[in-house]
Structure 1
Amino acid sequence: MAEENFDEEESTVETFDVNYSCLRCGTLVSNSELSRLPEIKCICGFRVFVKARPPVVKTVKAI
């Protein structure tokens, strides 16, 4: 019984999938794909990734 409850609690935890893009070629890679690989490297061989930003632009009014 205790094992069943533990399994249910693990499945209810939300994981957010963060997307990264390669700095050289711009290939989008998710965080889960990067964690599966033995080393953090793009298909082009470059090792620098940048967190992909959403296309929404925030505007702030001046005081």
Structure 2
Amino acid sequence: MAEENMESEIIEEPTETFEVLYSCLRCGTNVSNTELFRLPEIKCICGFRVFTKVRPPVVKTVKAI
């Protein structure tokens, strides 16, 4: 009985998750990572399986040495 309780504690999801948005390469639909992992297959609603990570519109500038 104690082993079952330990397994359920290990399986629990972390409380702090970061939302990452992915975009379908074919149709451009934005999907979060939690929605993708809920599905049995990583696939868009259009049936395409290739996603790109949506990056924030912040541009970083680095000074040259």
TM-score (norm 2): 0.72
Structure 1: distance between partners of 2:57 and 2:33: 19
Residue number in structure 2 paired with 1:44: 46
Residue number in structure 2 paired with 1:24: 26
Aligned length: 56
Structure 1: distance between partners of 2:37 and 2:48: 16
| Residues 1:60 and 1:20: Cα distance change in structure 2 (over 3 Å) | same
Q: CA deviation at 1:47?
A: 0.1
Structure 1: distance between partners of 2:43 and 2:51: 9
Residue identity (%): 80
List aligned pairs for 1:52-63, cutoff 5 A: 52-63=54-65
Moved over 4 A (4+): none
Aligned Cα root-mean-square deviation (Å): 2.1
TM-score (norm 1): 0.74
